[in-house]
Amino acid sequence: MKSVCRLKYPLEWFDELVENIRAIWIKSEIEKHWAIGDLILKNRLKFKKPEYGNKTIAHLAIETGISKSTLYDCIKLRRRYPSIEAVYNEIPPGGKLTWRNIRDSLRKQRRRRVTVQERETGVEYATHNIRVFNNCLFNCRYCYSKLPLQRSRLNRRVPNPTEEAKLYAKDPEPKIIMIDFCCDPYPTKNSVTRKVLEILGPSAHQVMVLTKNPRDAMEDIDVMSKYDNIWFGSSVTSLYPLPKEEPKAPCDNPERIECLKIAKEEYGLHTFISTEPWLVWEDDSGEIIDLTRPWEIIEHTHSFIDYYIIGALNYREQLGYPPLPKGYYKHHIPHILYLLMKYKKMFFFKKELRINEK
């Protein structure tokens, strides 16, 4: 049965999720509630926002006939217990554990004190970030971390990535962890990033590896392919090399794309592309220069990319870039959205692209 809901993103995964929940509902009380919570959390990246939201849960409630409060109880149950066996282990000798008792306990439970040192990531499509290195050697012209204020923020602490990963690994509440949105986790081949992935691989978290050096990152593909929760991604700013914009990047754009293709087709990894920043400006003569052209990237890569993140060029004046052509994003976003829907891709537009331009 097809969903009657009209969401703003492709519906096929949603229809499948609805049918799976309906199938689970015939199981025993405790098992079915845990399984539904597990299923919803596994699908959270397919929601319009990285984390599940009220609207999606409301749609699921309508389609499945299960109340919103019960669906949220299912999610709480899965967050508390990493496996159904862990639920049954709480049954005292000679005692009986019922769904009503568990539900009442979940609803009375106050939000736990967070043991992981949680920080605002400053990035919209992930809830947390682990910095492996505190500096990036690639010297990209458009990198905002070169600005004095951003550099001072980076230097406030020395990263301790393996210890952070261990703390996150103990946390049963699923998160979306980026490695790393500011300083590349693969400046060269290194054992530190691999160790972080080995620690987080068995965890409940979605782990997203973002690098401009996928060639060296492929050395760790045995770890990435071992766990279904690790996503492999790269910043792709054009279909062509951009030596003036990315003078010291180990891999140019075509090589990054080729590595992602291999990761998907030969190793079955979840893959994503971050077209950040969208490099476009208007020169002194009035000519529009668009180096990125995201719609071309999507057309070229859709057969092996699962998820697209699209963001604007920020701090353009401080970084020495000419102004943005008026209305340029607004003019092209509908076509980009059409392609993403056509190819049934997950996607995320950064907020600067969702704000109407004056």
Where exactly are the structural domains of the chain?
12-108, 128-354
- In the Cβ-directed half-sphere of 38, how many Cα atoms lie within 13 Å? 12
User: ∠ CA 175-308-267 to the nearest 5 degrees?
Assistant: 80
Which residue type, as a one-letter code, is found at position 211? T
Give the phi and the psi of residue 257 in degrees, each rounded to 5.
-60, -45
Structure tokens at 136: 């990036």
SS3 277: strand
| Cis geometry, peptide bond prior to residue 243 (ω within 30 degrees of 0) | no
Scan for tokens 């476009």, then name that residue: 280
The H or E element that residue 15 is part of is helix 12-24
Q: How far apart are CA 44 and CA 52, in angstroms?
A: 5
Q: Give the distance from CA 31 to its chain's centroid.
A: 28
Chain length of the chain: 358
Predicted pLDDT at 91: 61
Q: 129 CB contacts (<8 Å, ≥6 apart)? A: 119, 121, 122, 123, 177, 178, 179, 180, 181, 182
Predicted pLDDT at 56: 79
Structure tokens at 294: 């995201």
Predicted pLDDT at 275: 95
Scan for tokens 């062509």, then name that residue: 240
- Taking each helix axis from N to C end, the angle separating 68-80 and 29-42, rounded to the nearest 10 degrees, works out to 90
**Which parts of the chain are beta strand (E)?**
128-129, 176-179, 206-211, 230-235, 270-278, 280-282, 288-290, 307-312, 346-349
Residue 13 contacts residue 43 (beta carbons within 8 Å): yes
Which residue type, as a one-letter code, is found at position 139? N
Predicted pLDDT at 121: 46
Predicted pLDDT at 323: 94
Cβ neighbours, 10 Å, residue 285: 5
Cβ neighbours, 10 Å, residue 58: 13
pTM tops 0.75, yes or no: no
Ranges of the chain whose pLDDT falls below 70: 1-11, 26-27, 45-54, 90-96, 108-123, 147-158, 354-358
Report which of 335, 245, 255, 249 is spatially closest to residue 292, judged by C-alpha positions. 245
Share of the chain above pLDDT 90, in %: 44
Q: How far apart are CA 56 and CA 294, in angstroms?
A: 28
Residue 92 contacts residue 102 (beta carbons within 8 Å): no
Arch. (CATH architecture) of 128-354: Alpha-Beta Barrel (3.20)
Give the phi and the psi of residue 311 in degrees, each rounded to 5.
-140, 160
Structure tokens at 338: 């059409």
